[in-house]
Structure 1
């Protein structure tokens, strides 16, 4: 028993040392793949699990409520949750099974937390890649407008000066971003304090700016055509600027799925659909739970 406790203590100390060392190696690659944060988090979690596992039953018993509050929403169908609830119902703090049961459940809950962090990082990276592609499209659009002033006619017959295609398209993009920014500011006022290790809300809102610029240009190209016959073509530059802002704001329809996905990831507790997806995560990521006998 003493040898087992010393082994767990050494393991906890090793995890703490790894966590301390991991925070010293923040690089671009680590920022992208989450190695530093996720590695540090996993080490701290493993250390806490080891400490609880080697604790006296009474000390581990004092952590039951906190562990149940953490694991309850994450491990609803996990047999380890049922075991800890069963032990708590018996109200026997001296039960020798308590430390291992609590530690095993905490390990499962932390595995789900770490998986949610991975999903948050993956979604952030997808937003960054998509935003990079959108910015590339904006650059291509600007280059085309620069090379040929009439290639992108955002307003037929109302150019301000000959050869001003680049300025026209640039202004439309800027106003489209302004319209998108109006939506972003409105959302920021309603958004509560949501902490995320990968700053997901920032990238969630940032990607709306290039989308707003593109929707403004595309919308003005379609105005007055068979695609948008119900909207009258702009006759003056004041009309063009108003349309650009409105079409930039219209990116709401395109980014609705992004907002819904981000809200699920940022929620403190997974919804029913995500909970079903996470149900098998503890079994795939943690060590086999010890078997207990009554």
Structure 2
């Protein structure tokens, strides 16, 4: 019984980590409680929250009717207006809906990175297995191979390791510049981690393509020392392949969405349509 309960707990924890059930469920509940408190408050008390709610509503479209109503109430400067509680609550709910949507996008992107990293790791295992069973099948070196004519597991494995080293050099430089982040899913870690297997594969592929039509400006290494140096350089060259990953992650990690993402967030479903009993929020 205890073992079964323990296995169930592990499965639940993994599912919650993967699907964001615990964090996103807690976040949604807290947001709903804050909205309900403001909605049930007296107008004068809800009025004190207008500035804070307007700051949170920055990512919303400026044409949003809930934002327009709250701004109009603030301009009139009438804390006793009976519309203040539900208007501020409606705007806060919309702002929180955008925050929740950004959290979902962050989790989805992290999960895609994990899936891609798993596939790349599997490719590394397959490559190493081929090199182990069939020497010379992956010619990462020709005349520069040490003590043998055909490269095998040792040579291919070392090239991969050096490719990871080149990628890690880039990762270390980025980690020094990386500051704190609001992200709850540790996205920066997975963003940088995926570069290691990519660096290993670019090292192998780069050495396979040297002195070919694909890389006509390069020459095949003449010595094993040159092979190792080339592996590090090709591992570092993964920067070109992971630039789009970095750009996407930076948009998600930004404290405020950029104009392009803000335009996409305008399509977030109206929270009034997602909850029961909030029809009076419609402006």
Q: Compute the TM-score of the two structures, normalised by the length of structure 1.
A: 0.88
Q: Which runs of 5+ in 1 are unaligned?
A: 1-24
The residue that corresponds to 2:68 in the other structure is: 82
Are the structure 2 counterparts of residues 33 and 54 from structure 1 closer, same or farther at C-alpha, using a change threshold of 3 Å?
same
Q: Which residue of 2 aligns with 1:28?
A: 14
TM-score (norm 2): 0.91
Q: Please give the per-residue CA displacement for 1:61-98, whole angstroms capped at 9, x wherever unaligned.
A: 11000000001223433110010000000001111110
Alignment of 1:108-119 (within 5 A): 108-119=94-105
Unaligned runs of 5+ in 2: 1-10
- 1:112 touches 1:278 (CA, 8 Å); kept in 2? yes
CA-CA distance at 1:108 after TM superposition? 0.4
Q: Report the equivalent of 2:213.
A: 226
Residue 257 of structure 1 corresponds to 244
8 A contact 1:74–1:269 mirrored in 2: no
For 2:58 and 2:212, the matched residues in 1 are separated by 56
Residue by residue over 1:214-245, the C-alpha shift from the partner in whole angstroms, topping out at 9 and shown as x without a partner, is 00000000111221121111011110111001
Q: Is the 8 A contact 1:108 1:282 kept in 2?
A: no
Corresponding residue of 1:279: 266
Query: 1:291: Cα distance to partner?
Result: 5.7
Report the equivalent of 1:11.
none
Aligned-partner Cα distance in 1 for 2:60–2:32: 18
Q: Which residue of 1 aligns with 2:203?
A: 216
Q: Matched residue pairs, number? A: 269
Q: How does 1:92-107 map to 2 (within 5 A)?
A: 92-107=78-93
Equivalence for 1:47: 33
Asked whether 1:192 is paired with 2:192, we answer no
Contact 2:142 2:151 in 1 (8 A): no
Closer, same or farther: CA 286–105 of 1 in aligned 2, 3 Å: farther
1:282–1:69 CA distance, 2 compared to 1 (3 A): farther
| Alignment partner of 1:62 out of 30, 45, 48 | 48
Corresponding position: 1:181 with 2:168? yes
Q: State whether structure 2 residue 192 is matched by structure 1 residue 202.
A: no
Structure 1 match to 2:280: 290
Aligned residues of 1:146 and 1:166 also touching (Cα < 8 A): yes
- Asked if 2 retains the 8 angstrom alpha-carbon contact of 1:64 and 1:102, the reply is yes
Q: Do the aligned residues in 1 keep the contact of 2:140 with 2:151 (CA within 8 Å)?
A: no
DSSP 3-state at the match of 1:281: coil
Alignment of 1:107-186 (within 5 A): 107-162=93-148, 165-186=152-173
- The SS at the match of 1:27 is helix
Rounded to whole Å, the distance in 2 between the matches of 1:102 and 1:168 is 65
d(CA) in 1 for partners of 2:60, 2:179: 22
